[in-house]
Amino acid sequence: TIYTSHWDAPALPETSIFTYLFPDSAADSPLERFDPALPAFISPLTDTTVSRAQLKENALRLASGLRKLGLKKYDTACVWGANSLPWISAVFGLIAAGVTVTPANVAYESHEIAHQINDSGASLLFVDPANLITFEKAKPNLRNIFPASRIVLLCRTEDKPEISPYKSVYELFGDVAPAERFVGQDAINSAAWLCYSSGTTGLPKGVVTTHHNLTSQLQALNVMHEPLKSGEDSVLGILPLSHIFGAIIVLLQPITVGVPVIVLPKFEEVSVYSAIQKYKITYSLVVPPILIVMLHSQISKNYDLSSLKALLSGAAPLSKELCTEFKKRYPDFKLAQGYGMTETSPVIMSMTAADGAAHEGQCGRLIPTWEARLVKEDGENASKPGESGELWVRGPSTMKGYHNNTEANDKSFAEGRWFKTGDVLTRTEDGWYQVVDRVKELIKYKGFQVPPAELEALLLTNPDVVDVGVIGVWDESQATELPRAYVVANPRLGLKPDGYAKFTRDIGAWVAARVAPQKKLRGGVVVIAAIPKSPSGKILRKDLRKRAEEE
């Protein structure tokens, strides 16, 4: 059985994401055109508002500055920083110039950013001044040479550190010139975004998200969404814009409905509650650990949060139990859930806020444009309600493929361009889905991807470790998985059980010094005699998971 969405199919324009969002004429885009003076993005930190008209003009000015630096359509640039207005300016300037955006996690360590810059082939870097020290460490490992003109600071011109040889993004602004156009096959085939995801196995890979992937996704979201109302609603922008959830649902979608986003660098209780109160924010995108913090908050009662109508959670499992507890504490907020992946631009399933109460623990119904199958272990499609199977999907928002990686593409796509998600789901008779398991090796810490293969490769470079297997262990109190390493100690250490505590502490600290914080071994380090492996040498993570449950 092949399932489809019960919502109407949207029109699927073949144009660039920039032209779609900021049409010059009605023929350019099916989107409604809103008052150009409406606020698009607001920063409570600098107390600055950017209107829709300014956003577009800034993008066109930056695009011409980028052209002066020699950047061309189809080039790639990396944007590396926390959520901020300069970050947003940089990204819209790049898409206006037809340059592919590869956004990097703000907390990356030097080898992590070097991998993304090298693999993506980025030839320009927008960087948060706070990341300059880490960037200097990464520099010797970069394949592209970055002259000072190709390193641009994500900060206000007036805040530019005096000592830095680099310009701020605003100093690149040139004259307003037309945006690069992508029409027909060019829009279907050209990369707009290049996020990094490990997929079902291995190291982080570039996910080629085309212009058409994005416009199809935004069209689909706007069919199924309860409309956010321009002039009434506003969105809290705390999720990292460098992750696909933030990029599409926080950065782009509000523009399509004429609603402002209040931008903050991260979830921090005081600044978030103050912003909700001050800007009367009505809608927020969240991940489950944020709901846990709100659930146990000692201070949320000191703020007027009554403007908030709904929260939409995604990127990690949100249990029925957490929904119930959350609703007890905050009965006036509607709570809904969505499901998707970087590879699917990202939403596959979702529900409206109004549906949330009746569907706790479920992740929604197929949004428009998607076809889905649940493939059982015997290769047959599940067809009965409640039967579980691996979700395979097909639709115009499926990535073009992993960047320069035929092997991973061959593994991820089945005949007929079905994309294998690596997640196991069930479906009710009337089309509601629930995520019940994951058959891929990916770990998720608070919605962030933690590829175990990456931690394993790192740990094998430690001379005290001869073998290792990494899995995620569930922590109910934080509503997240935590990465845990099982390690075989080098026999030359002559390690005895009374030395395990120090050894595992040292290993944990050694890893923590080398990775972004979400990849720390918060689930612990466990000494093991041998890593369970299949005859072909593959780590049997199922066995490690079973062991973790028994411990």
| Binding-site ranges for ligand AYL (CB under 6 A) | 197, 244-245, 249, 314-317, 337-342, 346-347, 350, 363, 421, 423, 435, 438, 444, 449
CA–CA distance, 389 with 381 (Å, rounded to integer): 8
What tokens were used for 411? 């593994």
- Select 58 or 449, whichever has its Cβ closest to ligand AYL: 449
- Select 213 or 421, whichever has its Cβ closest to ligand AYL: 421
Measured over the CA atoms of residue 446, residue 322, residue 382 and residue 536, the dihedral's sign is positive
CB of residue 101 to ligand AYL, shortest distance in Å: 16
- Select 59 or 363, whichever has its Cβ closest to ligand AYL: 363
CB of residue 501 to ligand AYL, shortest distance in Å: 33
CA–CA distance, 475 with 312 (Å, rounded to integer): 21
What backbone torsions phi and psi does residue 113 show, to the nearest 5 degrees?
Answer: -70, -35
CB of residue 426 to ligand AYL, shortest distance in Å: 12
Which residue is it, tokens 């000015």? 61
CB of residue 340 to ligand AYL, shortest distance in Å: 3
Query: Nearest-CB residue to ligand AYL?
Result: 338
Judge whether 208 and 344 are in contact, CB under 8 Å.
no
CB of residue 224 to ligand AYL, shortest distance in Å: 11
- Select 420 or 522, whichever has its Cβ closest to ligand AYL: 420
- Select 76 or 197, whichever has its Cβ closest to ligand AYL: 197
- Select 150 or 205, whichever has its Cβ closest to ligand AYL: 205
Judge whether 78 and 124 are in contact, CB under 8 Å.
yes
Contacts of 516 (CB under 8 A, 6+ apart): 105, 107, 108, 109, 112
- Select 262 or 323, whichever has its Cβ closest to ligand AYL: 323
- Select 28 or 325, whichever has its Cβ closest to ligand AYL: 325
Displacement of CA 159 from its chain's centroid (Å): 28
- Select 71 or 312, whichever has its Cβ closest to ligand AYL: 312
Position 18, amino acid: F
CB of residue 444 to ligand AYL, shortest distance in Å: 5
Judge whether 150 and 122 are in contact, CB under 8 Å.
no
Displacement of CA 175 from its chain's centroid (Å): 33
CB of residue 235 to ligand AYL, shortest distance in Å: 13
CA–CA distance, 362 with 319 (Å, rounded to integer): 8
Judge whether 527 and 500 are in contact, CB under 8 Å.
yes
CA–CA distance, 333 with 235 (Å, rounded to integer): 14
CB of residue 13 to ligand AYL, shortest distance in Å: 22
What tokens were used for 428? 């009710």
CB of residue 285 to ligand AYL, shortest distance in Å: 7
Measuring CA to CA, how many Å separate 185 from each of 57, 76, 180? 27, 19, 15
CA–CA distance, 88 with 90 (Å, rounded to integer): 5
By three-state DSSP, how is residue 495 classified?
A: coil
- Select 110 or 209, whichever has its Cβ closest to ligand AYL: 209
CB of residue 378 to ligand AYL, shortest distance in Å: 22
Measuring CA to CA, how many Å separate 426 from each of 346, 386, 435, 439, 497? 19, 5, 7, 14, 44
